[in-house]
Structure 1
């Protein structure tokens, strides 16, 4: 399974991350640690996000937990930058 991932660590609910995609469309998924493991195991999982062909994408962490940001795309064709957004 080809994907890029970013370990966001323990993140408080309400934190926002901006994802800039260049080179390809992608499915951008924000997952807690349990759902990310299910994703890796090809089990059922839930995520926040969706399929995006326009960027930047801003995703808000829904609750306190350990979070991963997964970019489903062709890793050799896409460039991704991520920044935490502060008000």
Structure 2
């Protein structure tokens, strides 16, 4: 995930790498035919500032200063 700001998240990750990420989309049908769904993703994260993956992301997103690498341990659909 491209990171441009997120300075407080960077400080937090140094103390505790555990993350909870939630996201949603109206275009994906949820449970019981609801319009939209959400997902909760649990995992650990670290910021990457160099290497091949960083260079690839930097060409796609020139504004980024680092890349958030997320290792998923659990993902659950919420709606």
Query: TM-score, with normalisation over the residues of structure 1?
Result: 0.28
Query: TM-score, with normalisation over the residues of structure 2?
Result: 0.30
Greater share of helix residues, 1 or 2?
A: 2
